[in-house]
C-alpha cells in the first residue's frame, strides 16, 4: 500500500532563517506531488505541483521554492522566512500519468511558526 | 478564478441526527468531486468521491452531485461525536488537470 511521510511535524523558526521541509511517498511510482499551505482559519492554498523529477509548477509567487530530486521525494524550501510564512504545510500525492484520479492523499503536515 | 464555496459554519447537529453539508462550484466543466474530513490540528482525510450525477453511499455517508445546479453535498446519517470536524469540499476542474480546488470548509459539531 502507498504511504506518504512528511517531516518535521512542528517547527519554530526565526524570521530570516532558511527552511527545508521534506516529503516522501512509498509504494507507488511517478506520483503527482503537491505542496499546500493552510493558514490559521483559512482554506488550502496550492503552492507547488510536480508531475515528475525536476518538473515544478509554482502557483503563487513568494519566497518559497520546491524541488523534486527523486521520483518520490518533494522538498519545500526558503532562503529567508517571513512572518507570513507561518502556517500548516501539507504535502499530498495523487496517481500520475494516465492512471485514474482518486483524489489526493495528504501527509501528516508540518506546523510552521515563524517568530 | 474557479471557486468552490462552502458555508463556514459552525454547523451544530444533535447526536443521531442527519448532518447535511453543502458545496457549490463555479466551473461548469468540473468533473470530479471529493469530500475531505479534517480534525483540528490534523491533515485532511479523503472520505468520499463522486464523479457522476446522483447519490453515492458509503456506510453512514452519502455524497450527492447535481452538475446542472453545480452543487455537491454530503449527508452524514446517525451523526456521532467523532464526526465533529471540518469538512472540505474539493473539485477537479477537468480531465487532465489534477489540481484540486478546495473550499474553505464547514466546521461541524455533533452535540451529545
Contact A101, A86 (CB under 8 A): no
Q: Is A44 on the interface with B (CB under 8 A)?
A: yes
Record: contact B46-A104, CB cut-off 8 A: yes
- Report the candidate in B44, B51, B47 with the shortest Cα–Cα distance to residue B19: B47
Q: What is the mean pLDDT of residues B5-15?
A: 92
Q: Which phi and psi (to 5°) does residue B82 adopt?
A: -70, -10
pLDDT computed for residue A61 by the predictor: 66
- Report the candidate in A66, A31, A36, A80 with the shortest Cα–Cα distance to residue A52: A31
* Regions of chain A with pLDDT less than 50: none
Record: contact B44-A106, CB cut-off 8 A: yes
CA distance B22 to chain A (A): 16
pLDDT computed for residue A43 by the predictor: 85
DSSP secondary structure, A66-98, as one string: EEEEETTEEEEEESS--GGG-EEEEEEEE--TT
Q: pLDDT (tens digit, 9 = 90+) per residue, B33-81?
A: 999 999 999 999 999 999 999 999 999 999 999 999 999 999 999 999 9
Contact A8, A111 (CB under 8 A): no
Contact A56, A33 (CB under 8 A): no
Q: What is the mean pLDDT of residues B83-104?
A: 89
B45, B92, B99 ranked by CB distance to A46: nearest: B99
Q: What is the mean pLDDT of residues B77-104?
A: 90
Record: contact A106-B90, CB cut-off 8 A: no
pLDDT computed for residue B86 by the predictor: 96
- Other CB atoms within 10 Å distance of the CB of residue B6: 20
Residue window 56-95, chain B: list those with CB within 8 Å of chain A: 88, 90, 92
Q: Is A18 on the interface with B (CB under 8 A)?
A: no
Alpha-carbon distance values, A11 to A2, A34, A60, A86 (Å): 26, 20, 22, 10
Grid cell locating B78: 446517525
> What does chain B come to in residues?
112
Record: contact A90-B34, CB cut-off 8 A: no
pLDDT computed for residue B2 by the predictor: 63
Cβ pairs A/B, distance under 8 A: 44
Probe site for chain B from A39, A43, A45 (most B CB atoms < 10 A): A43
Q: What is the DSSP letter of B81?
A: G
3-state secondary structure of B47: strand
Q: What is the mean pLDDT of residues B11-23?
A: 97
Half-sphere exposure of residue B29: CA atoms within 13 angstroms, side-chain side: 6
Amino acid at each position: 500500500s502507498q504511504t506518504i511521510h512528511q517531516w518535521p511535524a512542528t517547527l519554530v523558526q526565526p524570521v530570516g532563517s532558511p527552511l527545508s521541509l521534506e516529503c516522501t511517498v512509498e509504494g507507488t511510482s511517478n506520483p503527482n506531488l503537491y505542496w499546500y499551505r493552510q493558514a490559521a482559519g483559512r482554506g488550502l492554498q496550492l503552492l507547488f505541483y510536480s508531475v515528475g523529477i525536476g518538473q515544478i509548477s509554482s502557483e503563487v509567487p513568494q519566497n518559497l521554492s520546491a524541488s523534486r530530486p527523486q521520483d518520490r521525494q518533494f522538498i519545500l524550501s526558503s532562503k529567508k522566512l517571513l512572518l507570513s510564512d507561518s502556517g500548516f504545510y501539507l504535502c499530498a500525492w495523487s496517481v500520475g500519468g494516465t492512471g485514474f484520479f482518486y483524489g489526493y492523499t495528504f501527509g501528516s503536515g508540518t506546523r510552521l511558526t515563524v517568530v | 478564478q474557479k471557486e468552490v464555496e462552502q458555508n463556514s459554519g459552525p454547523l451544530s447537529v444533535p447526536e443521531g441526527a442527519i448532518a447535511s453539508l453543502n458545496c457549490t462550484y463555479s466551473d461548469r466543466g468540473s468533473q470530479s468531486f471529493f469530500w475531505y474530513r479534517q480534525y483540528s490540528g490534523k491533515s485532511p482525510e479523503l472520505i468520499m468521491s463522486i464523479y457522476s450525477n446522483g447519490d453515492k453511499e458509503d456506510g453512514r455517508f452519502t455524497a450527492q452531485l447535481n452538475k446542472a445546479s453545480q452543487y455537491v453535498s454530503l449527508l452524514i446519517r446517525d451523526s456521532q461525536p467523532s464526526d465533529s470536524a471540518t469538512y472540505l469540499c474539493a473539485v477537479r476542474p477537468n480531465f487532465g488537470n489534477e489540481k484540486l480546488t478546495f473550499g474553505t470548509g464547514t466546521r461541524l459539531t455533533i452535540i451529545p
